[in-house]
Amino acid sequence: AQTVTQSQPEMSVQEAETVTLSCTYDTSESDYYLFWYKQPPSRQMILVIRQEAYKQQNATENRFSVNFQKAAKSFSLKISDSQLGDAAMYFCAYRTRGYSGGGADGLTFGKGTHLIIQP
Amino acid sequence: AAGVIQSPRHLIKEKRETATLKCYPIPRHDTVYWYQQGPGQDPQFLISFYEKMQSDKGSIPDRFSAQQFSDYHSELNMSSLELGDSALYFCASSRDRGYEAFFGQGTRLTVV
């Protein structure tokens, strides 16, 4: 079974600074997807960024970028120019690319990192 | 743009009662996923459907069942409710089992 580990229960950063959230995962598969989801106090799950394991290039979405190290099974999220609206719980998630039993596999989430933005 | 619609948004039930949660996926999305998120926990995958057939099964209790209907909406039926079933239940949908799943706003179930 796949596992996702987020070793930082809470992180704090000053507004406008850069912060990196860590995520490691364990899998025996070679092809899979990785995601970062944001969950603000409204509890809505919002996709921040995704990465296909077969792509060597790190994904970027505006102020959000990832550092994907496949051999190390590491997938960190960097938030640049932090804004107050970035304050939320951030979940790292994994999903196999293949379809077990011909179906669509669900996501495996880490325990989350609570990001606090200091004004 | 249309999003995933879940109803009801909030539900209060007593122990041993039954609850039904509904999910209406984004138009033209044929895949639906259900997740359970307990207080202070990460979401746990329960079950998924593709083209009205069960696709994958996670940590769904035997007291729970679900199905996807001909119009692609899905319902999660929960019987013999326990206090520990109190949680936020998310539905997500994607197109053709695509990896990008969009989440609904969730149904908050409270069992008293």
Predicted local confidence at residue A103, as pLDDT: 45
Cβ contact A35:A107 at 8 Å: yes
Rounded Cα gap, residues A45 and B95, in angstroms: 18
Would you call A91 and B43 a contact, using CB atoms and an 8 Å cutoff?
A: yes
Q: Is B67 in CB contact (< 8 Å) with chain A?
A: no
Nearest to B43 among A33, A103, A109 (CB): A109
Q: Which residue of A has its CA nearest to B59?
A: A106
Backbone angles phi, psi at B85, to 5 degrees: -80, -10
Q: Which residue has the tokens 């990001």?
A: A115
From chain B, the residues in CB contact with A110 under 8 A are: 42
Predicted local confidence at residue A99, as pLDDT: 54
Task: Tell me the CA distances in angstroms from A21 to A77, B15, B33, B51, one per residue in order.
Answer: 5, 39, 26, 36
Rounded Cα gap, residues B75 and B62, in angstroms: 15
Nearest to B97 among A44, A99, A110 (CB): A99
Total count of residues recorded for chain B: 112
**DSSP-derived 3-state class of residue B84:** helix
* Number of compact structural domains in chain A: 1
Would you call A103 and B50 a contact, using CB atoms and an 8 Å cutoff?
A: yes
Instruction: Check which CATH number belongs to the domain holding A72 and give it.
Output: 2.60.40.10
**Residue ranges of chain A whose pLDDT lies below 70:** 98-104
Task: Please give, rounded to a whole number of angstroms, the shortest distance from the CA of B15 to a CA of chain A.
Answer: 25
CATH, range B5-111:
2.60.40.10
Q: pLDDT digit string (tens) for B36-94?
A: 999 999 999 999 998 999 988 998 999 999 999 999 999 999 999 999 999 999 999 98
- Residue A45 domain boundaries: 3-98+107-118
Q: Is B60 in CB contact (< 8 Å) with chain A?
A: no
Predicted local confidence at residue A96, as pLDDT: 81
Q: And the tokens for A81?
A: 């120019």
The answer, yes or no, to whether residue B33 has pLDDT greater than 50, is yes
Q: What angle do CA B15, B103, A17 make, to 5 degrees?
A: 115
Predicted local confidence at residue A98, as pLDDT: 59
Q: pLDDT digit string (tens) for A27-51?
A: 988 888 999 999 999 999 999 999 9
Q: pLDDT digit string (tens) for B3-12?
A: 999 999 999 9
